Amino acid sequence: MKSPDVIDKASLEQTAVKLRRDILTMLEKAGSGHPGGSLSAIDIILTLYSGEMRYDPKEPRAEMRDRFVLSKGHGVPALYAVMADKGFFPREDLLTLRELGSKLQGHPANALLPGIEASTGSLGQGLSVAQGIALAAQLKGSKQDPAWRVYCLCGDGEVQEGQIWEVALSAPHLGAHNLTAIIDSNKAQIDGLVEDVMPLGALVEKFAQFGWHTQRIDGHDIDAIRQALKAARDETTRPSVIVADTIKGKGVSFMESDIVGWHGKTPNREELEKALQELPS
């Protein structure tokens, strides 16, 4: 299975703006959800699905596909926006977010929507799931040439969970070199700033000490994301972690200036219109 064609940077940046509009529109319609962390993650997820990962939206369960696990499950509006753009389901379905009976629930639901690799939402668990899927790929292929790669997006607040650090220890020991963890470091969580709630300290250095291949990048720079993903793919002896510095609420000035307040608050109609004016169509 081949990766979809790489899209040029300018086109991808334009698509990211469109998907930010989709995220805010579906959240306003739903009346609940998490705009801040969805907007911070959209560039990362879009880039993964635009030339890096191998997948076929017409066969979302194809065995040899690469896998993406959204460990920070509350950011799923970003994933839904990308999936709709890539043809996994009709774009109009985005407006069913969080409705009773919809496949697009407030957190990813594997049993409801093909293309969702794991049901997540309980923070800290997705990276363990991703590690298991990565090791299964080595059994399906070989340790040197696994059948697929696995990508897992975590939040920086989520990294406070102890289960994350169990994987930090075990993944290098078990040789999960086909696993890439990406940390959406947007500096805020529901209870406040990450630095105030539970500081993470020298995050890159900690993972390096555990034996990971480490990188730190601007999580809104398409070229930087692509280069980091390539470096992770080229690493054949150990798992990779990419710490992506991002801005919570990226693209909407009043969300960027109140990153804690907009963690789990959706815009009303007036706020949506104001936000859309800042995101040219």
Using the predicted structure, report yes or no on whether residue 4 has a pLDDT greater than 90.
Answer: no
2 part of a folded domain: no
236 part of a folded domain: yes
Distances (CA, A) of 261 to 37, 168, 254: 11, 30, 10
Q: What is the pLDDT of residues 192-246, one digit of tens each?
A: 999 999 999 999 999 999 999 999 999 999 999 999 999 999 999 999 999 999 9
184 part of a folded domain: yes
What's the domain range around 194?
A: 9-277
What's the pLDDT at 241?
A: 98
Structural domains of the chain, count? 1
**Residue 247 neighbours by CB distance under 10 Å:** 19
pLDDT bucket at 188, cuts 50 / 70 / 90: very high
Using the predicted structure, report yes or no on whether residue 18 has a pLDDT greater than 90.
Answer: yes
211: domain CATH number is 3.40.50.970
Can you list the positions of beta strands (E) in the chain?
67-70, 150-155, 179-185, 188-189, 192-193, 213-218, 240-245
Contact 252, 24 (CB under 8 A): yes
What's the pLDDT at 281?
A: 79
What mean pLDDT is reported for the chain?
A: 97
Share of the chain above pLDDT 70, in %: 100
Using the predicted structure, report yes or no on whether residue 24 has a pLDDT greater than 90.
Answer: yes
Q: What is the pLDDT of residues 93-116, one digit of tens each?
A: 999 999 999 999 999 999 999 999
What's the pLDDT at 50?
A: 97
Q: Among 176, 171, 55, 94, which Cα is nearest to 103's?
A: 94
User: In this structure, are strands 240-245 and 213-218 parallel, antiparallel, or unpaired?
Assistant: parallel
205 part of a folded domain: yes
User: Average pLDDT of 169-188?
Assistant: 98
Q: Among 47, 157, 63, 164, which Cα is nearest to 117's?
A: 63
50 part of a folded domain: yes
